[in-house]
Amino acid sequence: MTATNDADALLDGFWPYRKTTESYRAVPAEPVDRAQLLHEIATMAQSEDAQGDAGHVSGSLYCGDHDHYAFLGEVFSLFSHANVLQRDMYPSATKFEAEIIAMTSSLLHGTGVGVVTSGGSESLITALYSYREQARERGVTQPNVVMPTTAHVALDKGAHWMNIEVRHAPLTDGYVADVSAMAELIDENTIALVGSAANYAHGLIDPIEEIAALAKEHGIGMHVDGCLGGWLLPWVERLGYDVPLWDFRVPGVTSISADTHKYGYALKGSSVLLYRSRELRKHQYFTYPGWPGGLYLSPGLAGSRSGGIIASTYAALLATGESGYLRAAEGIMSTATAIKEGIRARIPQLEVIGDPTFLVAFRAPEGSDLDIYLVNDSLKAQGWRMNSLQLPPALHFCITRPNTGDGLAERFLEALAAAVAYAEEHRGEPAQSGAMYGFGHTPQGHATLETVMSGVLDAMHDVAPEA
């Protein structure tokens, strides 16, 4: 293949519609026919959903039920135009939002205090902001937060924006937070500790009880990042699986984030940030009584928000119900257990990281020369989309409802065994897969320079080059 063909293929990979659809660089002079637009957009959606509908995608698609999506879309459309900042016009938003918070709090044994956010990142960053503001009351001007290296990177992003020092603690041999190491990092400027239930990389639950006890001992907050597991682990526990305590039943836990748009089966993006007390929650509020435009009050970062997301999230929780969540959790855990046990019993070239529940991470054992990214190359070629990890190199399969079909676990194990054989056959060759969050199936990876990563972000916001 020539250099020109290589470049063309790269562009087609990033902008796959550049040769089949028109790229608009300005508003068209005349309206585009609505039927034509709908057909074009629906064609994209159907094409992009195919892999996920087959159950071959890790995470990302948590529900997979298109009838459910259509129902939520109907609810969304009723309030898509509504701005919930204007509660006098749309008081239903108060009902929806308050009851979403109440249902999430009940599930996590909370006090009913919380807020609805646009997703996990906003929940985590907002919690960090609240702890920073709380610490200002005791004179902290150079705040730091202590968390394990596996804590979600959105916390690092928020800390970067708010000038909070992040102190990363190492992991134990079991790949969970090393509480002793965390203790060594605490000082008078520490505003909070963080633990995950479960973490994104390996699907493991940090020793929340120990971290919370440490936070309580030092008189500081403790946030549990339950964005991933918050709406699944409670049902898993009810099914009889061994789940360590991690929610508000643990003294010392002062806030929890849980994404309703993951295992709550709501539309993207919605999350709930819960607090143990109203006193802590008030630190995230912004009120400004002296603006010429009137009295301004906002619960968080967002101003105008569409009522569609809040209404459809409310509908998702009610339409699924306890029995629906338990059925989904049972299927997810059956599949995850089969994959976890299958890797351990049948694929000795790989090892499962720690003792996961619903998300199974696996790597080549230490000292092995097996390239896990070559394994991913083969899985991708076979139609599977895993998430690539780094430090150490690994892959994970986050099991969701679309992955629970009959025989899917067995098909994956067969594909994985074939992928390991491929990696062994091509040992020493450069892999095409890497470990970029949200781009686990692309050539970029661990060695990607920040300038190149910025270039990728630039490309995401550029119109497709002309074909």
Residue 343: φ, ψ to 5°: -60, -45
**pLDDT by residue for the chain (467 residues), tens digit each?**
455 566 666 676 677 787 888 888 899 999 999 999 999 989 989 998 999 999 999 999 999 999 999 999 999 999 999 998 888 899 899 999 999 999 999 999 999 999 999 999 999 999 999 999 999 999 999 999 999 999 999 999 999 999 999 999 999 999 999 999 999 999 999 999 999 999 999 999 999 999 999 999 999 999 999 999 999 999 999 999 999 999 999 999 999 999 999 999 999 999 999 999 999 999 999 989 999 998 888 888 888 899 999 999 999 999 999 999 999 999 999 999 999 999 999 999 999 999 999 999 999 999 999 999 999 999 999 999 999 999 899 999 999 999 999 999 999 999 999 999 999 999 999 998 765 544 444 444 444 445 555 555 555 555 556 66
Fold match between 83-305 and 321-454?
A: no
- What are the pLDDT digits (tens) for 336-388? 999 999 999 999 999 999 999 999 999 999 999 999 999 999 999 999 999 99
Record the tokens describing residue 390, joined without a space.
């780094």
What is the per-residue burial (b if ≥16 Cβ within 10 Å, else e) of 231-265? Answer: bbbbbbbeeebebeebbbebebbbbbbbbbbbbbb
Between CA 87 and CA 108 the distance in angstroms is 28
Task: Report d(CA 12, CA 293) in Å as an integer.
Answer: 48
Which residues neighbour 439 within 8 Å (Cβ) at sequence distance 6 or greater? 456
Q: 378: number of CA atoms within 13 Å, CB side?
A: 21
Q: Strand 394-398: give its sheet, edge to edge.
A: 351-352, 359-363, 394-398, 387-389
- Supply the DSSP symbol for 300: S
Nearest Cα to Cα of residue 420 among 369, 356, 456, 465: 369
SS3 11: helix
Residue 320 CA to residue 300 CA, distance in Å, equals: 28
Q: Per 3-state DSSP, what percentage of the chain is helix, strand, and coil (rounded to 5)?
A: 45, 15, 45
Q: Is the dihedral of CA 261, 266, 268, 272 positive or negative?
A: negative
What tokens appear for 239 in the block? Answer: 């099914």
8 Å CB contact between 59 and 336: no
Q: How far is CA 467 from the centre of its chain?
A: 34
Please say whether the beta carbons of 107 and 140 come within 8 A.
Answer: no
Instruction: Please count the residues of the chain.
Output: 467
Q: Is the dihedral of CA 444, 446, 448, 451 positive or negative?
A: positive
How far apart, in whole angstroms, are the C-alpha atoms of residue 392 and residue 371? 11
- In sequence order, what are the beta bridge partners of 388? 395
Enumerate the domain spans of the chain. 83-305, 321-454
Instruction: Give the gyration radius of the chain's Cα atoms.
Output: 23
Q: Considering the entire predicted model, what is its pTM?
A: 0.91
Q: Which fold has domain 83-305?
A: Aspartate Aminotransferase; domain 2 (3.40.640)
At residue 118's C-alpha, the angle toward residues 146 and 448, to 5°, is 60
CATH homologous superfamily for 321-454?
Answer: Aspartate Aminotransferase, domain 1 (3.90.1150.10)
Give the span between the Cα atoms of 332 and 249, in whole angstroms: 25
